[in-house]
Each structure stands twice: as C-alpha cells, then as structure tokens.
Structure 1
Amino acid sequence: MHLQTLLPILSALGTTAAITSKPAHLWATHYNGNVYSLTLKDNDLSISQTLNTCGDMPSWLTLDAHTHTVYCSDETGTADPSTHGSLTALHVRPDGTLREGAVAKTVGGGVSSIIYESAAGKKFIAIAHYQGSAISTFALPIKQNQPSLQAFHFNLTRPGKVDQQDSPHPHEVFLDPTGSFIVSPDLGADLLRVYAIEDGPSGKLSECPSVNITYGSGPRHGVFWADNTDRSADGSTNSRQTAAVGETMLYLLNEIGGTMMAFDVSYPRSGCLSFEKTQTLVPYPDSVMPEGATPAEISRIGDQFYVSIRSDQGFEPSDSMVVLDRSPVDGSVRLRDSASAFGKVPRTFVINRAGDLVAIGNQASATVAIVRRDPKTGDLGGEIATLQVGEPGKVGTAEGLSSVIWDE
C-alpha cells in the first residue's frame, strides 16, 4: 500500500550510520485525538505536523496511495446506536503533512480498516468495530456525512470464556490473496468471520460461514500466505483475481489464548473460503507466554513472520518482537529469535516496502521506534531512532499511541 522507497542500508546491521539521504514520511495516531506526521531523515525522526482530527480516539490509518488519501478510524462509541465513531479522509500534501477532508459517522469502536475493490474497479473501505460489535463498509472516496453502504451487527451465541469476551469484538479486517474475500477475527466471539465481495460494481459483501476458533482463544489479527501471487510486506495483493491457483494459508494470532494458528485455505465451488487448521503454537521462547503478556500484531515478508508481544518485558524496560520461519514443506512455523520492541506495549508495527526498516508503535510508552531489518536474513537489528509521540498511556487502557504506517 506504499509508494516511496527508502535507499538501501549503507552500514552493517545495528550500526548508527546514516541510512537515507531522502526523507521518509510516516503517520501515527494517538488516543489523545491527534494524528501526527513524522519525518525520518538520516538517523533522525521528528514530528512535522500535529493535527487534531479523527474524533476523540484516532485508532487506525489506511492509505489509498493512488488518491493520496489516508483514512482514519475513530474508536469512540459502542454498540449503543446513540453513540458513534467516525471515518475521516485526510489528504496527503507533497511534504507528507495532512489536510482534513470529509468526515462520515460510523458505528462506534472502529479499530481496523481495509480498502477493497469491486469487480468493476470501484473502491470501498471495510471497518472492524471492536466495541461496536460490527463490520461496516463505505464507498470511496467518502463525502461529508456519507451513510455506510452496509453494516453487519453481531450478537454472542454463547458466553465468552473471559470478561473481555462480553460481546462480539471484531478486531481486524483484511483481504485474502485474491482480493475477493474479507476476513475478520472476532476476539469476543472466538470466530473468524468471512465475507465474499459480490460480483459487479456494488462493492457489497455477502456473509460466508464463519470459522469456529478454539474457545477462549480471542483471535485478534491474521495474515495470509500464498505461492501464486506477488505480495506486499503485509501479505496483500494489488489485483483482484477470480480464482486462487496454488497453495494458500492463513496465520492467525490469538490475543487471549496467547497462540498462533496455521490454516490451509481452499476455494470450493460454493463461492466461499474453507479453512482447515494445521498447527497451533505459542509464538514465544520455550513456548511459554509470560503471565500478563499477549501477542498483538502479525506481519510477514515471504516466509518470515513477525509478531509483537505486549507487556512481556522481554528486554526490560521494553517488550518484545519475535521472528518466526515458515517451513516450505508443510507450512508450519517455528520461532527463530526475539528482539527488543524498544518501548512498552507494541500495539502495531509496519515494515517498509524495501524491507529494511520496521516502524514499531509502542502504545504505553507512546513512542515510534525505527528498527533495522536485514532484507537477506530477515533478522531484526538495532534501533535507528525513537521518538516520543504524545503522552504515554497506562498499560491496559485505551491510552497512548494507537497506530503507525509508512507513507509509501
């Protein structure tokens, strides 16, 4: 989803020599109601703009690189229809700063979004509403006070295992490798919700059968792997296909259970996806997640997977990032190594398009840490720069830094 490419690393992994002569831009959201534009030049990361926008709780940013628009989801609100969140269009200036555009009301609790296309090439955005217990969609570009295209509201069919599972909590939306399906891990209902993008120009979604995840797992985020398409660092593709050819797998991260699951994915003639679980593991050294620690974000490049671990204090006073390798034989994954997140509660992280830098958004410390990644080995290395972005948040609360993305 990014266009700009950083220049290659000019020094060995972990050194402090300058890495780029051309500025790179990032954006970060904070639960204080601000969206920040950041600039990385040489080894210096700085704030170039602080914009009060995107409601009271900006939580997630999605870039439409072709229109130079960033869409910001606001986590304000709940499933109560008297409350609401918002979706804000932010237009990107040449220097990486943002200008507020149209704002649309949404179901409350928006925490993740993904841009998708209809068969006719028209763009839409889907949003996962954690506290709102819903998934909604909007046609793009949004207009002021535009209504949603669709809104799917959920109820629990059985009590959850823990208090956090008091109601359905969709935590993410992401595309399958063909661009024809949207998948949403529901932390509250222990479900993987699946939607087919309808044929034609409407951009509407049709519900497919949901996938039951082990009781009490609390699925949070996931990423696909496929051997049949060219993919970006987040596992997505740039073109819509009508059928999958070759092997496809899904790797699912479970917050409450502290596990990672692998699934074989198939495309039966029924028109929906089919999932068969092949592995469950604890993505942590010695296969034991520390008490109070939870996996948060997952991403991959090729056969290397990266998972952020919140509140493990594995590199005290910082939490951890773990690196896992995928077996080419059966698709199983195993832990390779762990590294510092250079902050507390790494809620999100993103790998740049060149694959040589990782931006880690540490929620509780409210810092963005830029870390080296070796494109050849996949190893995470030393810290290049860390920047305080807004005030720190209390661990376990909706305070602090909420997301970070590259402008590429």
Structure 2
Amino acid sequence: MLFLALGLGLLSALVQTGNAANIFVSHYSGTIYSLTLTGSGSSYTLTQNSTVAIGGQPSWMTFNSTTRELYVSDETGSGSAQVASVSAATNGGLKLSGKASAPLGAVANVQYGGGNYLASAHYQTSMITTHKLPLTSGASAFQTFTLTMSGRGPNSRQDVPHPHETIVDPTGAFILAPDLGADLIRIYKIDASTGKLTACTPYTDTPGTGPRHATFWGKNTLYVGNELANSVHSFSVSYPAGGCITLTKLQTLTTMPGGKSAPSGTKVGEVHVKDNFLYASNRRDLTFSPNDSMASFSLDTSGTMTFQGLTSSGGTYPRTFQVNQEGDLVVIGDQTTANVVVVKRDVSTGLLGPQVASMRIGSVGQAENDNGLSAVLWDE
C-alpha cells in the first residue's frame, strides 16, 4: 500500500509537470515576471519563477517563441524612455538582453519584416516608430512617424493623435495602428527589402469612437475594439493589386448584453479571436462588482458577431488577456488589482469560466493611473 501511495503521488507530480505552462507578466513598476501554471481539470496552481528589473514603465510585451525574446514597450511619460528585449529560458528564467532609446509613452509593439524590425505605438507623443533588431545600447529609432489630425474630436481625450497598438496583417505586408485620438485606423505598407514603412490612406471612423485594439480573423476580416464607444467593429479587408489594403465596416456591437450602453466609466481594452469566437475586456464596468468583465461573441462563417455573454475578469481593469494555443485556458491581467487570473474556456462553445487560478503580482494600482499590472502572455 505504501508503494501504491508513493506511485500515485509520483504520477500526480508527473501529470502536473506535464501540464505546466509558463506565463510572462509585465508590471508598471519596471519588472518582468515569469510564472508557472501547473495542474489539470479544475485544480491549478500559479507559482513565481523569475523576475528581471528593466526599469521604466513596461506597458506591453511581444514574444517571439523561436528566438525566445520578449520585446517590451515603455510608457514612461517624462525624461527618457526605452524599448527593451528580455531573453526567456524554457525553465522560466529571464534576462535583460537589449535596450534602445525610444520616444516617450509607448503602449504597444509588434515584430515584422521576418522578425528583423519592431514597430511601436506611442500614445503620449503621437508617434509610430520602428527599430531594427536586435536592440543595441545607444541605438535610436529606424523610422519615426509624427502623427497629425485635422481637429479635436468630441471626446476630451481626443485632443491629439493617440495611437494605441500596432499589428501586422496576415500577409505580413502591412501594419495597422488604431488611433484613439484621431478616430483613424492608420495603415502602413511594409517594404520587404528595407523594412521601411510607407503611410497609406487611413480608415476614418465615426467621431468619438476611439479605436484602441484590433485583431484579424483570417486574411479578410478585422475586428477593432473601441475604447471610447465601448463597442466592437467588424471590417472586411481587401487587397488591391499593388496598392494598400482597404477596410469596409460591416457591423458594430456593444460589449454589453442586449446591445445596451456600457456603464459610465467603462473602457473596452483588448480584443482577441480564437477559432470562431471573439473576446473583449471591459475595464471598470463593475458588472461582477467589485470585478469587471470579459465579453464573448460567436462568429458565423461570414464573421458576423453574435453576443454570447459576460463573465468575471477576476479583478478590476482587465487591461490584457490571451487565449492559449490549445484553446482551453485564458490568462487575464487585471491592471488595478494587479492579479493574474486563469479561467477555463470551453473549446466547443467558446464560453469562458470558471476561474481556476489567481495570483497577485507586485503592487496594486489605482484606477485610471499607469501603475499595477500591464500585460500577460502565454509562453507559446
């Protein structure tokens, strides 16, 4: 019986090890964390692996699973800012591997051009910049686009352009940048031979929309989460021969049941697609008071959205989230409560919940401030 007990205990440990997954976390305090999630079924545990202090205000991470490099944006608002790279070992170890100078207020970045370049969105300074990789000390931006707009928007936050993300289209030929301040989706064509970007005619949205975050579903459908309107747009994407891509709006839904308006103070965060489902985070809606919510939508074969429901984000101000590749787990980063939450996902229905793990990371933040937890990513 003792042998049997020991054998079962060893088997349990092996099962947990076999189901281990690493999660990367950035915190506005200037630290990057590596966590390990172990378990299965409804029993999971989060443990901290490693940390690395990189300074500044880390706001976003892009992970290259081939080179195992994290590229970290810096939202520092005064003085000097940086863009950094962090090497991630398979056992969760982290090490600062590169830095380069960058304009202030970067909130997102994306790797492009065969992994040789990084394009960043600078919310505060109204810029799009690119850097050559790898990042080296003393290096500055490869290209800088200073953005303009014709006049103030209807929202008080629309005083100047505020690009909030950079994403690469599925063909790898274009970069899109939702601009919350200017109500534009900016489009840039990539020169494959040089890595340089050329600005195309942007898509102009309804004043006061505030596009923030975008995701592609296949090659020809784009979804954009709108922070000021608390809605999601769907677009068809066309690729004229030799020209720039064009967007045609197809549908708009709010991130609340029944198409209702979001509670005052709500701000849509990220949007992501997995299979035939779309997800959006609702920051400061307090639907599951004191916690905020995650909205889910089903997609038909044409990409038309149907609202499914809301589930708890497990904390407040869910700035960031990601579905794992297998599709059965979602990691959520709640900025203000500074906790990493993992919830189950039904791969058939796309519905989220229940919560299976949660862990506080660093110091908590304050609503509407650039502190607390900033980003989460699966090590995949």
Compute the TM-score of the two structures, normalised by the length of structure 2. Answer: 0.92
Q: Separation in 2 of the partners of 1:41 and 1:270?
A: 49
Q: 1:21 corresponds to which residue? A: 18
CA contact 2:184–2:211 (8 Å) conserved in 1: yes
- 1:97 is matched by which residue type in structure 2? G
Which of residues 307, 311, 315 in structure 2 aligns to 1:339? 311
Which of residues 90, 97, 102 in structure 2 aligns to 1:94? 90
Which of residues 27, 36, 39 in structure 2 aligns to 1:30? 27
| Structure 2 unpaired stretches of 5+ | 1-14
Q: Separation in 2 of the partners of 1:355 and 1:250?
A: 20
1:94 CA drift (Å):
3.0
1:107 CA drift (Å):
1.1
Q: 1:264 corresponds to which residue? A: 236
Q: 2:341 corresponds to which residue? A: 369
Q: 2:71 corresponds to which residue? A: 71
Q: Deviations over 1:33-66 (max 9, x none)?
A: 111111112211022223221x321111111111
Q: Separation in 1 of the partners of 2:138 and 2:98?
A: 8
Q: Separation in 2 of the partners of 1:395 and 1:286?
A: 27
Q: Separation in 1 of the partners of 2:17 and 2:228?
A: 39
Q: 1:292 corresponds to which residue? A: 265
1:193 CA drift (Å):
0.3
1:354 CA drift (Å):
0.9
Find the residue that maps to 2:165 and give its secondary structure.
coil
Q: 2:8 corresponds to which residue? A: none
1:331 CA drift (Å):
2.6
Q: 2:12 corresponds to which residue? A: none
Shifted more, 330-339 versus 175-184: the winner is 330-339
Q: How many residues align?
A: 361
Q: Separation in 1 of the partners of 2:278 and 2:141?
A: 34
1:122 CA drift (Å):
5.6
Are positions 1:223 and 2:220 aligned together? no
Find the residue that maps to 2:62 and give its secondary structure.
strand
CA contact 1:367–1:389 (8 Å) conserved in 2: yes
Which of residues 178, 183, 202 in structure 2 aligns to 1:210? 202
- 1:31 is matched by which residue type in structure 2? Y
Q: Separation in 1 of the partners of 2:163 and 2:60?
A: 14
CA contact 2:281–2:293 (8 Å) conserved in 1: yes
Q: Separation in 1 of the partners of 2:313 and 2:331?
A: 10
Are positions 1:323 and 2:320 aligned together? no
Q: Separation in 2 of the partners of 1:331 and 1:91?
A: 37
Find the residue that maps to 1:318 and give its secondary structure.
coil
Find the residue that maps to 1:338 and give its secondary structure.
strand
Q: Separation in 2 of the partners of 1:145 and 1:179?
A: 28
1:270 CA drift (Å):
4.7
Find the residue that maps to 1:105 and give its secondary structure.
strand
Q: 1:162 corresponds to which residue? A: 155
Q: Deviations over 1:320-346 (max 9, x none)?
A: 111101122x43211012111111010
Q: Separation in 2 of the partners of 1:195 and 1:249?
A: 17
State how 1:60-209 maps to structure 2 within 5 Å: 60-77=60-77, 83-117=79-113, 121=114, 123-200=116-193, 202-209=194-201
The structure having more radius of gyration, on CA atoms, is 2
Q: Separation in 1 of the partners of 2:146 and 2:17?
A: 46
CA contact 1:102–1:145 (8 Å) conserved in 2: no
- 1:272 is matched by which residue type in structure 2? C
Q: Separation in 1 of the partners of 2:125 and 2:80?
A: 8
Q: 1:312 corresponds to which residue? A: 285
Find the residue that maps to 1:286 and give its secondary structure.
helix
CA contact 2:173–2:192 (8 Å) conserved in 1: no
Closer, same or farther: CA 134–249 of 1 in aligned 2, 3 Å: same
Q: Percent identity?
A: 39
CA contact 2:256–2:295 (8 Å) conserved in 1: yes
Find the residue that maps to 2:265 and give its secondary structure.
coil
CA contact 2:255–2:282 (8 Å) conserved in 1: no
Q: Deviations over 1:142-188 (max 9, x none)?
A: 22222211011112311121221121110001111111110000001
Q: Separation in 2 of the partners of 1:19 and 1:360?
A: 21
Q: 1:303 corresponds to which residue? A: 276
- 2:350 is matched by which residue type in structure 1? G
Are positions 1:39 and 2:39 aligned together? no
User: Deviating runs (4+, > 6 A) in structure 1?
Assistant: none
1:22 CA drift (Å):
3.7
